[in-house]
Amino acid sequence: MRVAVVGATGLVGTTMMKILEERNFPITEFLAVASEKSVGKEIVFRGQKHAIVGMQTAVNARPDIALFSAGGSTSLEWAPKFAEVGTTVIDNSSAWRADPTKKLVVPEVNAHVLNKTDKIIANPNCSTIQMVVALNPLHQKYRIKRLVISTYQSVTGTGVKAVTQMMNERNGVAGEMAYKYSIDMNLIPHIDSFLDNGYTKEEMKMVNETRKIIGDKTIKITATTVRVPVMGGHSESVNVEFLSEFELQEVRRILQNTPGVIVVDDVNNFKYPMPKDAEGRDEVFVGRLRRDESRRRCLNMWIVADNLRKGAATNAIQIAEYLIKEKIVQSVEVSAEELVA
């Protein structure tokens, strides 16, 4: 496979390259792609130096797969140009997620919807990904009626600037601010911009993306998303109301048998998922499983995952792996004359 990572210098882009190495993804030619100000700089991938190239150069190279993590405006402009030359784009921005003509995919949940006509595939929001991995098998068994979600999201979800702000504050150093307020020793109940309904875009992403991925528009969902001074990953408190009655032990058994999920739920020994445990891991961790004693057929869950990995880079690469496995994407030979052209 000829593979391009678009946004190779960002947090998610560098994580993508790391995971491509870890998973031994089949690559015959690698392209590190970034903005014009980074062109010519070098990055190291699989022990070799690669000069960063610009967008048009990458399009001309006609990679088989382009993993995008370069922001929504960049994706809206360039993803169609890659698709026009036959490249399959897997995009990590919010640009295409709500587009009814584009698939929004979490491989453990709905990879089966993909086919050869899908040239731009949307990678969901990080908080949505980890949640639906844990919820989908329960939805298949009991059918979800309503979700009440509160998230506790890492500063790495904002990017390098936010990480720098937090560490500067922790060390008493003045510097550029990613947020309107200090983040160290603080919580900010505001992720993305506010909408007319009083919710943020991040909160409405969780509402709309969950319905689209699971394939059920009838699920009632409300969310509050909060930025916290953590770097390890995102955490979520999720209250689930089912249409059918459930047994707690069966819920635990279903989750224990779900690929990509690790149950950590032993409160007697103080074992429950925490961001530090998820950092650097690709699994979704679930714990604090208990009935909601205030309402029938309701379950409380605590869900944690590394937002840069499963919440972004790993999920995108798992999509690419599925495309190759199912022969939806196959390597196409490009002649030297075409590359020059």
Indicate which residues carry an active-site annotation.
Answer: 126, 234
205 near 122, Cβ under 8 Å?
no
Q: 336: which 2 tokens?
A: 């030297």
Residue 23, Cβ density class (10 Å: 0-12 exposed, 13-18 middle, ≥19 buried): middle
* Entry field: residues in the chain: 341
5 near 17, Cβ under 8 Å?
yes
Three-state DSSP class for 201? Answer: helix
Give Cβ neighbours of residue 79 (< 8 Å, ≥ 6 apart). Answer: 66, 68, 89, 91, 95, 96, 120
The dihedral through the CA atoms of 203, 286, 92, 208 has a sign that is: negative
Tell me the DSSP string of 218-268: T-EEEEEEEE-S-SS-EEEEEEEEESS---HHHHHHHHHTSTTEEE--BGG
Three-state DSSP class for 19? Answer: helix
